[in-house]
A and B are shown apart, each in its own frame.
Chain A
Amino acid sequence: MKEFDLAIVGAGPAGMSAALEAAGLGLSVLVLDEQPAPGGQIFRGVERAAGDPALAGEYAVAGALLARRFRAMPNIDYRPETTVWHIDAEAGLLSLRGPRGGGMARAARILLATGAQERPVPVPGWTLPGVMSAGAAQIMLKQAGAVPEGRLVLAGQGPLMWLLAAQLARAGKPPALLLETTPRGALRRALARGGLWRGRAMLAKGAALLWEARRSGMKVVSGVRGLRAEGEGRVRRVAWEGGATECGVLLLHEGVIPSTHVSRALGLEHEWDEAQLCWRPVLDGWGASSAPRIAIAGDGGGIGGWQAAVEAGALAALDAAHRAGRLDAAARDRRAAPHRAALGAALALRPFLDALHAPSPAVLAPPEDATLVCRCEEVTAGQVRQAARLGATGPNQVKAYLRAGMGPCQGRMCGATVAALVAETRGIPVREAGVLRPRAPYKPITVGELADLPEEEPA
């Protein structure tokens, strides 16, 4: 079995940046990614799609450049379309499934660069065909150049909404309506967090997108509450407190949260982030986790956006080189200084954005008992509340009572909501309800795939 100095899970901004830095320092680097091409979610499919005028901007420029540098760098063993379904953190062993079957790899250090997922938006009717996450529509644009058909309504909040609205407008499909859920008063609270001057470039970019989307004719209703999707067999209407409208496709978004499935399954220490209202792994300034071999960089360690991810990836790589004996502490710290400065700048606007787009309590814990929380096992908010009243103290007990979190998604979609519902019902803080502890395999694999796992073959 091949041994690497550093194995990186994920080829998004953090993973690519870490690979470039580490390989540049002479480390042997393995990069494992489920996608067929580098980019992660934010720069998804950038090598093919950068020429699409709808995607002009950061994606086409910064994303394409990063992917090009990543491809050109020697000493990176890059394996696309490869799923990591188990990690033995003590032994540094990774179990893989690639295009040519199963395999194993060993690494002295493992960097999880698994990025973010969209926060679940469990509103009534969110499982109807025609209702999707906003990120899903953006992926359709990036991977297939495709746009939604029929009357398009966006509902929710966050920078991605404005970016997507502008991109769809450029693609000839401006949304008819944006139902913005940012609560009244959020802007005042956000302004109090500061960071506006340091983050002014990012702020200007956001303002330009906002203007571009509005100019395309998209109507905006703000302060929207009580959102619901309606229809038989597919979405036909979206309703909210004080309004309703026809819709063919409804796109939901309430920001992103760290994708912690693997870090939780590994049993790494996590903490509840009160500002971002999500769980995040506990990390030091180099991204090192509570497990000796494992580091985390990028949005998987806390939401910071792609520029912060690039810097955090480089820092984790420098630390990996130090631990491998290639850099003494002084050299590591010296090289880290510009990355730390850039990281600070990339994060300057974050407190403002976190406060502005904090999801309402109704997003975290849907008030209506009939709302489906677990899409896989079709468990409702009311059932979870009932389980909490009967004694379930957190998502792991709810899973045993109701199967919520036991379906194919292993709680990726419902874990956060279940914890919030338990906390609400029992009158405890979410951090006390705790976090769902998934198990390997991280992705379902068949018994056949397990059986014909070769010892030495690369995936």
Chain B
Amino acid sequence: MFATRPEFRPATVEVLVDGQPLSVPEGASAAAALLLAGLAASRETPVSGAPRLPYCMMGVCFDCLAEIDGVANRQACMVTVRPGMRIAPQCGARLAGTAA
């Protein structure tokens, strides 16, 4: 859905998005990695199972909720990528352990 411009921002941080290696620029968020990976959806809504991708990128909409390094329901647009970070889409019902 988005493409980097490596001439200006080289993609130097390797992360795993849905198990696939992907290099993204330093300073990018995990939500940016989800968009750069070209996934059809990064989350399904708990109510109807509708597909979603990050919408606002600034911490407002919570459509970027994803599993990051094994922790579910992280707001991916507020998490900066680190080398080796595992970012996975999350589907279905709200998971336990989260105060919403």
Contact = CB atoms under 8 A, between A and B. Distances in A.
Is B one of A's binding partners? yes
Interface of A: 34-37, 41, 45, 48-49, 51-54, 81, 83, 117-118, 127, 129-133, 135-136, 139-140, 143-150, 171-172, 233-234, 248-249, 259, 375-378, 406-410, 412-413, 441, 443-448, 450
Given A53-B8, A135-B58, A144-B27, A408 B53 contact: no
The secondary-structure label for the interface of chain B is loop
Interface string B47-79: 110111111111111110100000001010110
B61 to A, nearest CB: 5
Closest 6 CB pairs of A and B: A145-B9, A136-B57, A408-B62, A144-B28, A139-B57, A129-B53
28 contacts: A34-B59, A35-B78, A48-B9, A51-B8, A52-B5, A81-B80, A117-B60, A127-B50, A129-B41, A133-B55, A135-B56, A135-B57, A139-B57, A139-B77, A140-B57, A146-B32, A147-B3, A249-B1, A375-B63, A376-B62, A378-B47, A378-B50, A407-B100, A408-B73, A409-B62, A444-B75, A446-B98, A447-B99
Interface residues of B, number: 45
Contact of B99 (A118, A140, A412, A444): A444
B5 A132 contact: no
A441 B8 CA distance: 39
Given A34-B78, A412-B60, A140 B5 contact: no
Interface of B: 1-5, 8-9, 24-29, 32, 35-36, 40-41, 45, 47-48, 50-63, 65, 73, 75, 77-78, 80, 97-100
Contacts of B35: 140, 146
A263 to B, nearest CB: 15
Given A127-B55, A132-B53, A406-B100, 11 more contacts: A36-B80, A52-B8, A52-B9, A54-B8, A129-B41, A129-B52, A133-B56, A136-B58, A146-B4, A147-B3, A375-B55
